Each structure stands twice: as C-alpha cells, then as structure tokens.
C-alpha cells in the first residue's frame, strides 16, 4: 500500500513540475511537442528531453540539444538545424509560433511531407529558410512577403505545384532563391525581374511554360541563373544580355527555338553557358569571342548550322566546348588548338570536314576528345596526347587515313579508344604495357595489317577489344589473351587470322568471343568450359576440326553458338538438349553425324541450323529411321508416290492461288527465315490465317497488332503486321534483317518475315507465360525480382551496345516483357516503333553513311528513353506495381524515404542484409530516370552497377 502511495505522490509532483518547467522554457516545450509529432526512425532527436529536477530561472534546456542554436547567454533560440536527420511526417505549424527571434531554420534532406506550415512565415526575423530535399506538396503557401529579412530561400527538390510564388519578388534582401525540382507550372512571373539584391536564382526542373520574361534582364546583381529543364515557348530574350554580373547561365532542355541572340556576348563575366537540348537554329554568334571569361560552352543537341567561329581563338579560358548533335559544317579552326585551357572537345554528329588542327593537344591538356560521326579526313594530330591526361579519344565513323601516330602508342592515360569505321592502315602500334588503365579499344572496320597484337595480355584492365573487319590484319591469337582478368569481349572477325585457339585457362569475365570468317584451324580447347560467363561464341567460317566440346552445353548463360562452315565432326553432345539458355545454335555445313539431341530448343532452331551435314538426322531434319525411299526394292512404289504427291501439290497450289487472287493479292509474297531458325514458306504463313477452312476464322492481324498463329508445321508463333509502301520497303527490309539477327537469351526471337509490296507479317516465338504487367502485383521472392531486373538489363544492353548500329527498343514497358517456360524475361517488340516510323514516313527511309554511327540522330532520343523506361520498370518491380510511370515524381522524393517505403512494402527490415541490395537497385533506377537524358548512365554502365550485387540464392525471400 505504501508503494502505491509513493507512486501517486511522484505522479502528482511530476504533473506539477513539468508545466512549471515549460512555463519558464517555452522553447523546449515546443520542440518536445514537435518531436512527438514527427517520425524519427533513426532516433536522431533522442537528446531532446527535459531532465527531472528544478529548472533554474531563465535556463533553456533546448540550448544543449542537437540542432538547436541559442544566443550567447542561452536565453533565446536563434537557430534550428534538423538537416539530414532522417525525419519524416507532416510538420505541425503551431510549434513554431514561439520562435520569434529565430534567424536560421534548416529542415533540409529529410522526408517531411504534406502542406508546408504557413506559421513559419510569421517568423519575421528569419534570414535563412532551407527546406530543400523534402516532399512538401500542394501550392506554395501565401504569406512569404512577411519575411522581409530573408536572405536565403531554398526549397529545392520538393513536390510543390501550382504557380511560382509571386510574393518572393517583394523580398528585397533576398540573395538566394531556389525553387527548382518541384512541379511548379505556369510562366515565370515578370516580377522576378525586380529583385534588388538577388545573386542566385534556380527554377530548373519544373513544369514551367510560357515565354521567358525579358524583365529577367534587369537582374543586375545575379551571378548564377538556372531556369532550364522546363518547357517554354519562344526564343531566348535578348535582354538577358544586360545581366552584367552573371557568371553562370543555364537554360538547357527548355524547348527554346530561334537563334542565339548576339547580345549574350555582352556578358563579359560569364564563365559557363549551357543552352543544350533545345531547338536553337542559325549560326553561333561571332561576337561570343567577347566573353573572355568563358570556360564552359555547351550548345549541343540543337539545330545549329554553319562553322565554328574563327573568333573562338580569343576564348583563352575555354576548357569545355560541346557542339555535338547539331548540323554544323566546315572545318575546325586551327585557332582551337591554340586555346591553353581546352580540356574537353565534343563536336560529334555534325557535318564537319577537313583535317583536325595539326597542333591539337600541343598547347593544352586535353582530357576527352570526341569528333565521331563527321566527315573528317587526314591523320590523328601527332600531339593530341602530349598533355599526358587524355583518357578518352573517340574518332569513329569518319574518313581518317594513314597509320596511328606514335603519340597514341605512348598515351598511357587512355581509358577508352574508339577508331572504328575509318580507313586507318599499317600495323597496330599500341604498346599495351603502356596502357595501365585502358578498358575499351575498338579498331574495327579499318585497314590495319601486321597481325593480332602480341602483347595484349599486358593490358590488365582491358574489358572490350574489337579489331573485326580488318581483312589484311593476319597473325594469330596470342596464348595469354583469355587470361586478362576483366576481359569481357574479344571480336576479331574477318581479319585473316590463322593458327589455333589458345587454351582457356582463366577467363571468368569473358562473355563474347567473335572470330568468324578467319582461317583458324585445330580444335576448340575443352578448357573453354572454364569461361562460365560466356553468352556468345561465333567461330563460323573457319577451318576448325574435331568434336564439339561437351562443356559448351554447361555454360549457364550461353545464348548464341555459331560453329557453321567449319570441319567439325562427331555428334552434337547430348547435353545440348537440356541447354535452356540457347537461342541460336548453328552447326550447318560441317561433318556432324548422328542424331540431333532431343529438346525443344534444338528443334526450334530449324533445319537451317543443321543443313550441310549429310550424316546428321533427327528433327527438324529427316528422321533417323529407315525410309521406304531408301529401300532397293521400292523403286516403283517410290515413283508412284512421288507422282501422286506431285499431282496433289499442283492441285493444292492452284486452288490456293485462286483463293488468294480472289481475296485481292497485293503482289508476290516472299518469305525470309533467319539463319539457324525454322525455315518457313510464305504459303505456311498465309494458310495459317485460314486454317479452319472458314475464311473469317483466322484473319491476319491489323497493322501494329499481334495474334497467335499455329503454322502448318505445328509451330506456334506470334504474328505482327506492318504496312509499308514500295518506296521505303528496302530500308525497312534491312532494318527487319537487323532485328532478326539480334540474338540474345533475353530478346524474343524474330523467326522470319513474310511480305509483299504492301505489307509484312513478322513471325516471333510464342511465349505462353504472359508478361510482366500481368504479374507485377504478385508477390515474388528476391531471387525472382533480381533475375527479372538483370534479364531486362542484359537484353537492353545487348541492343544498345552489341548491335551495330545500336537498336533502340522504342517501347519499353512492363507489358513488353514476356516470360518463357522457365520464367526468364524476354524483351518483346524491340525496334518495332522505329519500324513503324519508317513505314509512316515520320523519319526518312534512306540509308546514309551518317546513320552508321553509335549515336544516330534518328534513334538517340529513343536510346535515352529506353534507359528512362528501364528505370521505371525497376521501380515497378521493387514496389510490386505501385510506382508505375513514376520516373519523374520520384526525382523530387528523398531517397531515404523512398527506400523506407520500398523496404516496408517488401517486408524488409532496416537490419536486413537485403536492404543494401534494394538500395543499390533503387540507386540505378534513380540514375536512369534523371530529368536530363545526358545525365543518365548508358545501359552498359547501368548493368555494371547491377553486377555489383551478388546473385541471391533461390530461397532468398523478401
């Protein structure tokens, strides 16, 4: 009884004490109340409590708490910094009313959401208000004009919507205004040109539209302005040339048109000018040479024409010059080589001609040069690497000639060297021991001689090496080529290489071997099975002999194996029948014997994959059983049967011809089947649309639609129709051939196409297990989600980086991710959007040399959009379908809050080892869905990020 009496007294005393404490300390009371209303998963506010005992008069407990700043005598709270504390939830405004003397309030980099509390605008002494990187939403509240002492207003990366707050223009002491990265819409208020003290203004990455107000030219104190990544109308106001103090101006990705006003050359203090990704036309103003302080100039991705102004020789501080993706022409001024600060030169995908400046690189430390896909001639400037820091040299798809300069062979700083599709000749002078960091070399489609490099094994970081289509190169594959620890791709097709394949001792990273159309002899070493990462092996058209190694069938991701046109003998190993990853096996025109192993995959290859082997039998070739046609005593029976079959076929063909004539034939039908896949006839396809005998039973699909069809051969296919005209048919046929030759385990196979002069039927594998859109909301274990993401990434990476030119998917979405019987994802409808645009005439149906570059004007936007779509699909998979088409909205959400949501949805605790995996994949999604396309990673880089994950076990549950 006494215990209960004591507890009662303690409770009564405490209830009397706390109000007494808080009566003397309203700041602590307000902050304790605020703490009780916010979500603090990381216990960042643990020290926010009032200890028991008497509170001395005037003491403010909060002055000792984290994030709280008081005046010198600790009697008033003057600063509150809750930045990066992992806080979330809605902020109740009532707890801010007592902070009348508050000077600085920082709530940045948390996950606060909901309406921004208007009560904060009553804190009239505020000098700095930072609420950036949260998720505040709704219209920006009124009352901002009350903060007349405000110097800094930073609301970057939230979810505000509606118009920009006009009231901000009344803050005459404001020096920093950052309202970027939300969903503000409407025009920029013309009143924003009336700031008297503003130095920094950032409005980029919203949904702003209308014309850029010319009043912004009145901002005489602004040194930094970013207003791009919106969708304005009209041109750049010439009045911006009056911003006399401006040093940084960014209006990129803003839908601007017209010419660049020459008045911008009045900005003599300007150091950085970014106008890329607009629709600007005309020539670059000659007067830009007046901007002597200019160090970064990016006018890329526009429609600019004309030459590079000779006057640029005056820009002595210029370090970045980016003019790529325009329609510029002429020669590169010799004066560019005189610029002492020049480090990065991007002028690819234009119409430049002539030679590069002879002295390029002699007077500056060039780091990155990309002049690809132009019409340059001559040789590489001899001093291009003399600065010692050149790490990327990209010259592909030009008309360069001659041998490589000695400076290239000694350029030890190189990481990436791309010289393909030129006319370089002579020996490959590269000394690989001088390239400690080289990772990518492409010398294909040139005229090199002198043999396959003998010291390639000394390039320890090499990942990609391609010398294909150098017909007179010659030489042999050196023994240690496969031992490079990071080597993934070796391509040396059509190089007149002789000798044998060296043993495969250490080849853990190797994914692609392409050595077709050479003179290789000997056998395939059995040690090739050590290369467990291999996805593609192409040894066609050589002189290889011996048996096909059984170990090839045990390589888990092997998708393409082409051994055609060699002298292999013996049987096809039986275990190939169980190789589920194989999408193309071609052993045609060898001396293979025995029966084709049973297995659905091998049967679907079609007879083209096996022809030219007289002693090979079994489906899809003739049966291995004795045929009545092979019996000596059956000659007469054979003759009779052949005559009967001939008569029946003649009658059937006649009837079928009459039938199609009556239905309105639109020209002779032709059938194209792809190498290594089933050989169909046009009649097989056409008959299948009327397989039940009733004309309306199975109509051909309408243009762009798809239907399931069972061919007379018994194979079930998906058929998609495309309408075309005779004018563009040739180009479309060529593009379909590229699609059909794109073989990867994560791409749906295009088996062939049947066409006349007016339309084509495209025949694809029929995969019966549905698509990702249908299954996205079903709960999956982590290993399944991992496999789906990696499969999509690998398929897309193949289209972007292993196909030449790159093939954009064009319509990447969850409904175009289909599953086979093993639930392996396959990309469907890749390239079909581009094909439709060719058919509709929305892009020219012409073929020119300029279309052979890696970055093609007609497809570059689609490549960017593919990467964006991949990021969105990752979000769909991680969120079980909740985050659909969420690429734009998540950019404004704090990553920690987003990670928390996804982990919660997947029932992953903060201490789970899977959280780091989810975090990495989420980071890839955020990178891929960045607002600016050029800020997104390539699919090659995205896949590399994902490969940092260890493949989860099949039992790893979410």
**Is residue 591 annotated as a catalytic residue, yes or no?**
no
Find tokens 């045990």 and name the residue.
554
Cα–Cα dist 570/886, whole Å: 55
Residue 110 burial class via C-beta count within 10 angstroms: exposed 0-12, middle 13-18, buried 19 and up: buried
Cα–Cα dist 295/944, whole Å: 32
Handedness of CA 114, 115, 119, 124 (dihedral sign): positive
Residue 97 token pair:
């009313």
Residue 646 token pair:
């001939």
Name, in order, each residue with C-beta under 8 angstroms of 891's C-beta and a sequence gap of 6 or more.
157, 181, 205, 926, 929, 930, 931
Cβ contact 451:476 at 8 Å: yes
Residue 220 token pair:
């005489």
Cβ contact 246:223 at 8 Å: yes
DSSP state of 789: H
Closest CA to 251 of 235, 268, 269, 267: 235
Closest CA to 877 of 789, 939, 951, 811: 789
DSSP state of 563: -
74 three-class SS: coil
Count Cα neighbours of 720 within 13 Å in the Cβ-side half-sphere.
21
Cα–Cα dist 579/550, whole Å: 11
Count CB atoms within 10 A of the CB of residue 818. 24
Residue 940 burial class via C-beta count within 10 angstroms: exposed 0-12, middle 13-18, buried 19 and up: middle
Handedness of CA 456, 457, 458, 462 (dihedral sign): positive
Cα–Cα dist 719/705, whole Å: 8
Residue 638 token pair:
């054979």
Cα–Cα dist 128/78, whole Å: 11
Cα–Cα dist 275/39, whole Å: 42
**Catalytic: which of 811, 866, 896, 917?**
811
Closest CA to 572 of 586, 583, 558, 555: 586
Count CB atoms within 10 A of the CB of residue 101. 16
Cβ contact 514:540 at 8 Å: no
From the centroid of its chain, how far is CA 168?
Answer: 38
Cα–Cα dist 444/757, whole Å: 36
Count CB atoms within 10 A of the CB of residue 659. 14
Element (H, E) at 817: strand 817-819
Handedness of CA 940, 944, 949, 952 (dihedral sign): positive
Cα–Cα dist 463/584, whole Å: 24
Cα–Cα dist 213/190, whole Å: 5
Cis amide linkage into residue 380, ω under 30° from 0: no
Cβ contact 532:556 at 8 Å: yes
Distances (CA, A) of 347 to 306, 562, 805: 13, 39, 19
Bridge partners for 329 per DSSP: 351
Helix ranges (H only) for 689-750 are 729-740
Q: Which residues are catalytically annotated?
A: 811
């Amino acid at each position: 009884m006494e215990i209960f009496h004591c507890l009662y007294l303690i409770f009564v005393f405490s209830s009397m004490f706390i109000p007494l404490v808080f009566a003397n300390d309203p700041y602590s009371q307000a902050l304790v109340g605020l703490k009780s209303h916010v979500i603090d998963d990381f216990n960042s506010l643990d020290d926010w409590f009032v200890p028991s005992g008497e509170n001395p008069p005037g003491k403010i407990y909060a002055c000792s708490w984290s994030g709280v700043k008081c005046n010198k005598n600790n009697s008033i709270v003057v600063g509150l910094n809750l930045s990066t504390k992992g806080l979330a939830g809605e902020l109740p405004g009532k707890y801010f009313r007592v902070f009348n003397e508050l000077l600085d309030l920082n709530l940045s980099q948390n996950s606060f959401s909901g309406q921004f509390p208007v009560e904060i605008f009553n804190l009239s002494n505020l000098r700095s208000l930072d609420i950036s990187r949260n998720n505040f939403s709704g219209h920006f509240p009124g009352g901002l004009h009350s903060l007349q002492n405000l110097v800094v207003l930073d609301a970057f990366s939230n979810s505000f919507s509606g118009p920009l707050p006009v009231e901000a223009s009344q803050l005459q002491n404001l020096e920093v205004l950052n309202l970027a990265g939300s969903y503000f819409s409407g025009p920029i208020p013309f009143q924003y040109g009336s700031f008297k003290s503003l130095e920094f203004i950032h409005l980029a990455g919203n949904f702003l539209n209308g014309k850029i107000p010319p009043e912004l030219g009145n901002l005489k104190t602004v040194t930094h302005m970013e207003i791009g990544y919106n969708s304005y109308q009209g041109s750049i106001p010439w009045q911006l040339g009056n911003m006399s103090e401006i040093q940084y101006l960014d209006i990129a990705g803003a839908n601007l048109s017209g010419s660049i006003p020459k008045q911008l050359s009045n900005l003599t203090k300007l150091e950085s000018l970014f106008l890329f990704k607009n629709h600007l036309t005309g020539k670059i103003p000659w007067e830009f040479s007046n901007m002597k302080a200019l160090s970064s100039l990016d006018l890329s991705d526009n429609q600019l024409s004309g030459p590079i102004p000779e006057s640029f020789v005056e820009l002595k501080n210029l370090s970045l010059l980016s003019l790529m993706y325009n329609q510029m022409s002429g020669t590169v001024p010799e004066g560019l080589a005189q610029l002492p600060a020049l480090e990065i030169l991007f002028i690819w995908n234009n119409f430049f001609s002539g030679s590069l400046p002879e002295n390029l690189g002699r007077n500056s430390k060039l780091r990155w040069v990309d002049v690809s896909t132009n019409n340059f001639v001559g040789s590489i400037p001899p001093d291009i690497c003399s600065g010692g820091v050149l790490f990327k040299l990209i010259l592909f798809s030009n008309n360069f000639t001659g041998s490589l300069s000695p400076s290239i062979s000694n350029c030890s700083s190189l990481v990436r060297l791309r010289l393909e599709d030129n006319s370089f000749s002579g020996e490959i002078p590269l000394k690989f021991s001088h390239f400690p960091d080289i990772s990518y070399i492409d010398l294909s489609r040139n005229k090199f001689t002198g043999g396959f490099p003998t010291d390639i094994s000394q390039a320890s970081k090499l990942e990609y090496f391609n010398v294909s289509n150098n017909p007179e190169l010659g030489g042999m594959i050196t023994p240690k080529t496969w031992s490079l620890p990071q080597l993934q791709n070796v391509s040396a097709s059509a190089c007149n290489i002789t000798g044998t394949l060296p043993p495969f001792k250490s080849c853990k990273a190797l994914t692609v071997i392409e050595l077709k159309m050479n003179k290789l002899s000997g056998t395939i070493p059995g040690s090739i099975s050590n290369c467990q990462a291999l996805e593609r092996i192409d040894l066609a058209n050589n002189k290889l002999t011996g048996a096909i190694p059984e170990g090839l069938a045990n390589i888990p991701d092997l998708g393409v194996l082409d051994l055609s046109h060699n002298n292999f003998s013996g049987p096809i190993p039986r275990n190939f029948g169980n190789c589920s990853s194989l999408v193309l096996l071609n052993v045609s025109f060898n001396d293979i014997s025995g029966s084709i192993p049973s297995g659905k995959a091998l049967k679907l290859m079609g007879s083209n994959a096996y022809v030219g082997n007289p002693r090979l039998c079994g489906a899809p070739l003739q049966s291995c059983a004795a045929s009545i046609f092979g019996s000596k005593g059956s000659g007469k029976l054979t003759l009779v049967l052949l005559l009967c079959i001939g008569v029946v076929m003649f009658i059937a063909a006649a009837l079928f011809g009459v039938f199609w004539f009556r239905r309105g034939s639109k020209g002779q039908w032709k059938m194209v089947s792809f190498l290594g896949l089933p050989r169909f006839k046009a009649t097989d396809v056409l008959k299948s649309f009327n397989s039940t005998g009733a004309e309306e039973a199975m109509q051909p699909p309408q243009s762009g639609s798809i239907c399931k069809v069972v061919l007379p051969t018994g194979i079930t296919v998906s058929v998609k129709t495309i309408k075309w005209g005779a004018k563009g048919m040739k180009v479309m046929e060529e593009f379909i051939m590229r699609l059909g030759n794109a073989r990867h385990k994560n791409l749906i196979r295009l088996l062939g196409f049947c066409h006349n002069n007016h339309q084509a039927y495209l025949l694809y594998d029929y995969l019966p297990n549905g698509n990702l859109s249908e299954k996205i909301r079903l709960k999956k274990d982590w290993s399944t989600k991992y496999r789906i993401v990696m499969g999509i990434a690998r398929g897309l990476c193949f289209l972007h980086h292993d196909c030449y030119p790159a093939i954009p998917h064009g319509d990447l979405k969850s409904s175009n991710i289909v599953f086979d019987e093993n639930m392996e994802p396959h990309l469907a409808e890749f390239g079909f959007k581009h094909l439709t645009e060719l058919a509709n005439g929305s892009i020219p149906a012409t073929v020119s040399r300029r279309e052979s570059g890696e970055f093609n004007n007609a497809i570059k936007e689609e490549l960017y959009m593919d990467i964006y779509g991949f990021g969105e699909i990752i979000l769909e998979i991680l969120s079980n379908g909740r985050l659909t088409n969420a690429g734009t909205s998540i950019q404004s959400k704090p990553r920690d809050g987003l990670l928390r949501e996804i982990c919660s949805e997947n029932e992953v605790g903060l201490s789970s080892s899977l959280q780091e995996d989810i975090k990495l994949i989420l980071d890839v999604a955020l990178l891929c869905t960045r607002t600016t396309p050029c800020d997104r990673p390539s699919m090659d880089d995205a896949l590399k990020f994902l490969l940092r994950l260890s493949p989860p076990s099949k039992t790893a549950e979410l």
